[in-house]
Amino acid sequence: MSNEAWDDLRARVEQWIDDDPDPRTAAELRDLIDTAERHTVGAPTNPTEDGLDRAAAAARTELADRFRGPLEFGTAGLRGRVEGGPHRMNRAVVIRAAAGLSDYLLGELDGLPAPRVVVGYDARHGSHDFAYDTAAVMTAVGIDVMVLPSPLPTPVLAFAVRHLGADAGVMVTASHNPPRDNGYKVYLGGRVVTDAGQGSQIVPPADSAIAAEIARVHSVASVPRAESGWTVLGDEIVDEYVAATLTLADPTIGAAAGDLRIVLTPLHGVGGALGERVLRAAGFTDVLVVPEQSAPDPDFPTVAFPNPEEPGAIDLALGLASDQRADLVIALDPDADRCAVAVLDPRARTHRGPDTAGAEGWRMLHGDETGSLLGAIVARRIAAEPGPIDPETTFASSIVSSRLLSRIAAAAGVQHRQTLTGFKWLSRVDGLAYAYEEALGYCVAPQNVHDKDGMSAALLVASAAARLKAEGRTPMDVLDDLARAHGLHLTGQVSARFDDLAQIPATVQRLREAPPTTVGGSPVTSVVDLAHGSDEDRDGLPPTEGLRLDAADRTRVIVRPSGTEPKVKCYLEVIEPVAPDADDAAVGVARERARHRLDQVAADMRSALGIG
């Protein structure tokens, strides 16, 4: 970095410090400036090419990253590290975001009574301050603000937006991101969004319109903030969420609920107490919460990465399940909008797993397996309802999720829709009765929550597991039944991580120009460029970056850039035929054949991505 560039950067940092409302992040930035300058004096040891020692160079690089532009506000809201600077999550950035969102809402409802907004927050670093800064900013301009009573799961906020008829909702959370991160999700409803997307997360063009208002905020000092005037909701909003969720409980299982032993882990997030409350209120009295992970802790001390999908994240839960002879493991991610399910599968026994749990066959279901299981549960409930099925009743899944749900829907006599990834799209489907995406997100009660909800999904899985146990069966038996009815669908994923972000579009373009001619030994019969949309769904899909490869043996590969990580991801699916009368052993053989085919497809796509 030249002296001129450093002088310009230092001036911008100083200006930000002068406007920073948080003395902690202001001091943090001041320390970086001091480090960047203090170590330039004298003859540094091991100097950089600029003549700086390593500490000074590192401080300048860090400041350059924090000031390379504003943290982008998009359809996922804001998300980033909790640190000082415009490209991070901090009080200055949140105050500006709240001011921009306020201006957007006031513009949308110009001439109407004041907007109503619900604000929620989890237990991550900074969440409480970010939530109350939002309340202070919005109250100061006349918005009617309601704040949830304590750190709570994201589904409670999504429920409150619709239940209270709010025009918008803000949830301060970074979901299952690393401990250093936080985020800012925005929902629109009430009088701002009145169609099927009411109460869902924002989509274009609302995201761009809000971002434009944020960009007009001159400074934090120019944003008025009230010292009081918002409403802190009582625990009744939580009671109402619980009551709505309990309408999903299966009244036919009776005492069987108490016979099911469940291990629950919230992974140090905010879903433990509420998840346990929902299960116990539904009759599941034998619930064991993993003690090391039961209380909210923003440092997530027992996991390397607080995402149930990550290796090792649920090992403590599996170990407890093994020790206590449990029937079911449920893992909620830190804001409890995702749900992972683990079951005892004797065919998965391995001594390479986590001690006794892996040896006994405990394994986490893939998101597509749980998604299909829940689809079958919802389809069974629809069939049990009196009268004909509403012709508008629809199941939905994302473009990268298994095709099995479409078969389940057809067999149940309901429609199926495919959408782009993300519940901001899935929750907008007309006539929605159930939706899921393979990344452990499930919407089983769209009448309550227009988003994924780990706690309601957990209740449905537990209810089905209790009924199955009473019948001498398990969730694996349902998955085997689905294989007999529709073929064994097995999914997996291959991803390539890039340090140079420019390589991501270049990699997708290279595959677009020269796609593989075979995958898993089967000829590729079609290549669909998703950037031009897709006609696979009845209404087509909006354009999105990516490709879909279809092979002669019904293998499917979807290649797309990740929306949250510097990766190109390949979503793989093979379908293995299974006879309708196949016994358990034959289904197991089909599963092994499918696994072998999937491994071959994965190897081909690693080669295509250039990762060996």
Catalytic residue numbers, as ranges: 175
Helix runs in 449-502, H state only? 454-470, 475-486
Q: What is the 3-state secondary structure (H, E, C) of 191-260?
A: CCCCCCCCCEECCCCHHHHHHHHHHCCCCCCCCCCCCCCCEECCCHHHHHHHHHHHCCCCCCCHHHHHHC
Number of H helices, E strands in the chain: 18, 22
CA–CA separation, 521 and 311 (whole Å): 30
CA–CA separation, 78 and 89 (whole Å): 8
- For residue 88, report the phi and psi dihedrals to the nearest 5 degrees: -135, 170
Q: Which tokens is 336 given?
A: 């409890």
170-189 burial, b for 16+ CB within 10 Å, e for fewer? bbbbbbbbebbbbbbbbbbb
The alpha carbon of residue 407 and the mean position of all alpha carbons in its chain are separated, in whole angstroms, by 25
Q: Which tokens is 461 given?
A: 């899985």
Q: DSSP characters for 45-82?
A: SS--TTS--HHHHHHHHHHHHHTSSPPPPBTTBEEEEB
What letter represents residue 415's amino acid?
Answer: Q
SS3 of residue 351 by DSSP: coil
Helix runs in 67-205, H state only? 91-108, 127-140, 154-163
Q: What pairing do the DSSP bridges indicate for beta strands 262-265 and 200-201?
A: unpaired
C-alpha separations of 231 from 100, 113, 130, 136, 424 in Å: 21, 17, 16, 11, 27
CA–CA separation, 117 and 171 (whole Å): 11
| Torsion sign over Cα 313, 317, 322, 328 | negative
Task: Tell me which residue has tokens 């035929």.
Answer: 577
Tally of CB atoms within 10 A around 350: 11
Return the bridge partners of 556, or none: 550, 573
Q: What pairing do the DSSP bridges indicate for beta strands 200-201 and 328-332?
A: unpaired
Q: Going along 290-420, which residue ranges are E strands?
A: 328-332, 339-344, 362-364, 394-398, 415-419
Long-range contacts of 473-477 (CB under 8 A, 24+ apart): 474/343, 474/344, 475/328, 475/341, 475/343, 475/365, 475/373, 476/343, 476/345, 476/347
Q: What pairing do the DSSP bridges indicate for beta strands 181-188 and 78-81?
A: antiparallel
SS3 of residue 21 by DSSP: coil
